[in-house]
C-alpha cells in the first residue's frame, strides 16, 4: 500500500498547525498535483468533514474526499507536534485519503484497512516516536504499517 498511494513526498511532520482547517489545507497541498487543483482537494476534504468528523479516536483522524481529475487514489500522512480538534476529538496522526470521484471501487475497504492499522497501539506509538520524516516514513511503510 505504499507508492503511489503514500510516498515519501507526502509524509510530513507539522509543528505549527493551529486547527483542523490548517491541517486540511496542508493535506490538500500535499495531495494536489499538476491538473489537480489544491483548492478543489481542500473543498473535497472540508465537505466530507461537514458530514461528520473523520476522527477515529486514539489521536487519529482519516480525512478523505472524492475529486474529479484523479486517476488513482493517493494519500498523505501528517504527524502533528500538538493535537488539534477534529470535530470534538483531539488528533495528532492524520492519514488523508483522496479517491477519484468515479470509477474506482474499494475505497471503503481501504478506509477500513487504514483504520485497522491505526487502531494498533504499537503502530501508533511507532509513529509518535518517529522524530524525522525518514523515520516516520519507515514506520508507515514497515510490515507493521502499510508496507506489503
Residues classed as catalytic:
64
The one-character DSSP state at 36 is: B
What's the angle, vertex CA 49, arms to CA 147 and CA 133, rounded to 5? Answer: 35
With cell 510490515, the residue in question is: 143
Of residues 128, 129, 123, the one with CA closest to residue 142: 123
Strands 64-67 and 60-61: unpaired
With cell 491538473, the residue in question is: 35
Neighbouring residues of 26: CB distance < 8 A, sequence distance ≥ 6:
12, 14, 17, 78
29 prior amide bond cis, ω within 30: no
Q: Where are the alpha helices (DSSP H) in 3-79?
A: 20-31, 38-50
Amino acid at each position: 500500500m505504499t507508492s503511489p498511494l503514500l510516498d515519501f513526498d507526502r509524509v510530513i511532520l507539522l509543528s505549527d498547525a493551529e486547527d483542523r482547517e490548517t491541517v486540511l489545507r496542508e493535506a490538500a497541498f500535499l495531495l494536489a498535483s499538476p491538473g489537480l487543483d489544491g483548492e478543489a482537494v481542500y473543498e473535497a476534504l472540508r465537505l466530507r468533514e461537514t458530514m461528520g468528523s473523520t476522527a477515529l479516536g486514539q489521536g487519529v483522524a482519516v480525512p478523505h474526499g472524492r475529486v474529479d481529475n484523479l486517476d488513482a487514489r493517493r494519500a498523505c500522512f501528517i504527524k502533528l507536534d500538538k493535537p488539534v480538534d477534529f470535530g470534538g476529538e483531539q488528533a495528532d496522526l492524520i492519514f488523508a485519503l483522496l479517491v477519484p470521484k468515479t470509477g474506482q471501487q474499494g475505497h471503503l475497504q481501504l478506509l477500513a484497512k487504514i483504520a485497522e492499522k491505526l487502531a494498533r497501539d504499537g503502530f501508533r506509538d511507532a509513529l509518535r516516536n518517529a522524530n524525522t520524516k525518514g523515520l516516520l516514513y519507515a514506520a508507515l511503510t514497515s510490515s507493521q504499517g502499510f508496507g506489503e
